[in-house]
Structure 1
Amino acid sequence: MLHPSSELPAADLLPVVRQRPVPQALIETLQARFGARCSTAQAVREQHGSDESAFTVPPPAAVVFAQSSAEVAEVVDLCSQHEVPLIPYGAGSSLEGHLLAVQGGISLDLSRMDQVLSIDAEDLTVTVQPGITRKRLNDELKSTGLFFPIDPGADASIGGMCATRASGTNAVRYGTMRENVLALEVVTADGKIIRTGTRARKSSAGYDLTRLMVGSEGTLGVITEITLRLYPLPEAVSAAVCSFPSIEAAVRTVIQIIQLGVPIARVELIDANTVRMVNAHSKLGLREEPMLLMEFHGSPAGVKEQAETVQEIAAEFGGQAFEWASTPEERTRLWTARHNAYFAAIQSRPGCRVISTDTCVPISRLADCLLDSVAEVDASGLPYFLVGHVGDGNFHFGYLIDPDSAEERTRAEALNHQLVRRALQLDGTCSGEHGVGLHKMGFLVEEAGAGAVELMRTVKRALDPKNILNPGKIFEL
């Protein structure tokens, strides 16, 4: 696990690596069965043994590229027979170390399972394979007049989004993956294929296995099909940028918008420092002040009414320079710049690694949590960026550290610990949308309680008695 205490040296802030042996016989069996789709090439293994987190561990022993649910079941069964860890791999965009082979084993790449299996336009549902990315899914849906709204920023795979219970910029209006996954096909730890849920919008039949798997981070089963809720494309869409004299003014504006029940589709906070990074990276000319990026969906009259209400609220808190982006091209440029904030920050300090935070608090406590945390980070001297899906109380600091500096890593982890402790005291969470993975393991007992975490372990042992499915994530057994 990771130790969150700022008292510990940087070495104690790294994941525990306990490599299990991978029998050569297993690799030979996989190579005989899958041919070139079972790779032991160093470059392929290293690609699948790293993600966007700040951690480095040895790569998996081999990578298998599956093309069907039956093949996934076959690989899982073989790994079960040999008691070898199996780590599902989607798009590689995890920020929390989900993909790292901390106990060795086989990486199971699902990116070639990327098809839309069925679209049921009348029922507003779609069934897909896990490797399809959210952007490609929406490209395939364009002709239907429907879309899938969950947008975590990165072009993540739908399987990975499901496994981490992701959300993103649209969550304030459309919810998270938890609300938008109707049914799953899952390969269990013994290689069996099961189905959970149906396309019906509600069911009270037995345990909710769909919700158990959504957010399980590959530790309880390998997701091979997902049935999702879809939404009609809004008749009218408009986006706007508004600058504020302070972060507090921007946050107070958001709280007022939410508490008044304005059905805003997106509302994102970017601090002045991050705006500077985004301007440099995306060649924009945004005012370098704290700002909100907002989007409105609905009928033309509804969008107009929402926008007018928000403008009035923003003006009360000193909002100025309300700039509109009404064409698809303008909106795309604006939101692409927001989604590229992570890469803009990295570009601002070449060679750095990012330690990211993912706290979420009740909207009424957002200002207290965020303002105190900004003051702490400013006092630390570490470079950072700050963005937030503040409409649902979720925000992200990204501490930009020198990967060779133990002192900077310790400082960043201490800041993260202080932030999480503050969020928990305000009845929030250590992870709003990224999942626990490796990075948040040290906070889970503090948030959920020892009894609840032990119950999670009981579920894990029951469904994966050999502990082969993405072991060493969420909690230690």
Structure 2
Amino acid sequence: MALRRVLGLGRALGCRSCCSKHPLPPDFVEALRAVVGGPNVSTATVVREQHGHDESMHTCAPPDAVVWPQAVGQVQELAALCYRHRVPMVPFGTGTGLEGGVNAVQGGVCSDLSRMDAITELSLKDVSVLVEPAFPDEVMAGACSRFSGLELPAATTLLLELHGSRHGLAKQQRQAGTDASPGKEGFVVGLLSSPPCPTAPMVGHVGDSNFHCLTFNPQHPAAAQHVHAFSQCLGRRALAAGGTCTGEHGVGLGKRALLLEELGREGLDTLRRIKAALDPHNLMNPGKVL
């Protein structure tokens, strides 16, 4: 949400509609409260608006209610309740997507997963950990730091584990331009980001030098349209090179036309049949991708 505040997208898209086509009946809201508890259900306009958009410029489409489940069993109960009453359901993580994936275009219930942050399974043998959706990155960074005997800050950190001979590891370190410290096995590397862009907000992925420097004014419709046209052109260039239009943020609302160009009508029809088999009433985040 910080990026949206920096860019002023809330003001740029000020005409946000909070009207749902099918308002939830009061008894259904009470049923939601029975599953997750009263404090974990909200129908307040401001809360619904916060959950009706991501960092993209797609028009806000708020859900009718927002719930905060805290266990897998509650998520299952909520899904069963929505299925019985034919109410759309939309999951919400951090709202940082760029394809309108969280927009509740047909209303319904938004399940905010930010309170599900537990570790559910840890395997030292497989060097893997299974966590709930909202498990904080800073906790993971702190755990990796303690296990490897390092002094990394307990903050969101990108870690790479490099393997090879000591000479090979030193070469990889030089190629990556990183600050490395020896861990118990190999090297654990924390990549360092470049100074922020002095003229515009910048976000990015320091691991592959993929930065997004955002310089256009989203309050100008012409500028927004120009950026949209550029993104469509970029997607088609990717397709022409044998790649995919999906990019990092997948397909939600903005790339559906490009997905048709990529997969063709038969490909999309196949995906629709698979979705219909799993979601016969089209309740799971409807109006996206297909």
TM range (shorter): 0.7 to 0.9
Say yes or no: does 1:420 pair with 2:235: yes
Cα pair distance change 1:134/1:455, threshold 3 Å: farther
Query: 1:136-155, aligned counterparts within 5 Å?
Result: 136-145=139-148
Rounded to whole Å, the distance in 2 between the matches of 1:65 and 1:38 is 7
TM-score under structure 1 length normalisation: 0.48
Query: Structure 1's 327 and 127: CA in aligned 2 closer, same or farther, altered over 3 A?
Result: closer
Separation (CA, whole Å) in 2 of partners of 1:449 and 1:22: 36
> How big is the shift at 1:429?
1.2
| Paired amino acid for 1:300 | R
1:98-113 → structure 2 map (5 Å cutoff): 98-113=101-116
CA distance in 1, matches of 2:85, 2:75: 16
Distance 1:94 1:469, change over 3 A: same
Residue 133 to residue 431, structure 1, CA distance change in 2 (3 Å): farther
Match of 1:401 in 2: 216
Distance 1:387 1:128 in 2: 24
Residues 136 and 431 from structure 1, CA distance in 2 versus in 1: closer, same or farther, beyond 3 angstroms?
farther
Q: Which runs of 5+ in 2 are unaligned?
A: 1-17, 150-155, 183-188
Question: Following the alignment from structure 1 to structure 2, what is the Cα–Cα distance between the partners of residues 18 and 107?
Answer: 15
Please give the alpha-carbon distance, in whole angstroms, between the structure 1 residues aligned to 2:172 and 2:32.
57
SS of the residue 2:125 aligns to = helix
Q: How far does residue 79 in structure 1 lie from its aligned partner after superposition?
A: 0.9
Preserved contact between residue 20 and residue 84 of structure 1 (Cα < 8 Å): no
Partners of 1:139 and 1:404 in 2: CA distance:
40
Compared CA separation, residues 108 and 390, structure 1 to 2 (3 A): closer
Counterparts of 2:235 and 2:243, CA distance in 1: 8
- Out of 411, 434, 438, the position equivalent to 2:253 is 438
Instruction: Work out the CA distance in 1 between the residues paired with 2:65 and 2:52.
Output: 10
Secondary structure in 1 matching 2:105: coil
- Alignment partner, residue 63 of structure 1: 66
Among residues 80, 83, 93, which one is paired with 2:83 in the alignment? 80
Give the structure 1 partner of residue 22 of structure 2: 21
- Give runs of aligned pairs for residues 22-421 of structure 1, distance below 5 A: 22-24=23-25, 25-33=27-35, 34-145=37-148, 233-234=161-162, 298-306=164-172, 310=175, 325-326=179-180, 334-335=192-193, 337=194, 348=200, 400-421=215-236
Cα displacement (A) at 1:404:
2.9
Per-residue CA deviation, residues 322-344 of structure 1 (Å, 9 max, x unaligned), is x764469xx75823x47xx6xx5
Q: Count the aligned residue pairs.
A: 260
Q: Which runs of 5 or more structure 1 residues have no equivalent in the other structure?
A: 1-16, 147-154, 157-168, 175-232, 235-296, 312-322, 350-384
Please state how far the C-alpha of 1:414 moved relative to its aligned partner. Answer: 1.2
* TM-score relative to the length of structure 2: 0.76
8 Å CA contact retained: 2:87, 2:283: yes
The aligned amino acid for 1:77 is A
- List per-residue Cα deviations over 1:303-362 (Å, max 9, x = no partner): 223456x59xxxxxxxxxxx764469xx75823x47xx6xx58x727xxxxxxxxxxxxx
SS at match of 1:49: coil
C-alpha displacement of 1:428? 1.1
Three-state SS of the structure 1 residue aligned to 2:67 is strand
| Structure 1 residues 71 and 388, CA gap change in structure 2 (3 angstroms) | closer
Rounded to whole Å, the distance in 1 between the matches of 2:84 and 2:240 is 45
Structure 1 residue 23: Cα displacement: 2.5
1:43 Cα deviation (Å)?
2.7
Question: In the TM superposition, what is the alpha-carbon distance from 1:142 to its structure 2 partner?
Answer: 4.0
| Cα distance change on mapping 1:387 and 1:138 into 2, 3 Å | closer
Q: 1:19 to 1:85 in 2, by over 3 A?
A: same
Contact 1:116 1:137 in 2 (8 A): no
Is 1:90–1:110's contact at 8 Å kept on the other side of the alignment? yes
SS of the residue aligned with 1:448? Answer: helix
Q: Does the 8 A contact of 1:20 with 1:105 survive in 2?
A: no
Amino acid at match of 1:471: P
Residues of 1 paired with 2:133 and 2:207: CA distance?
Answer: 28
Give, in whole Å, the separation in 2 of the partners of 1:123 and 1:144.
15
For the aligned residue pairs, the C-alpha RMSD in angstroms reads 3.5
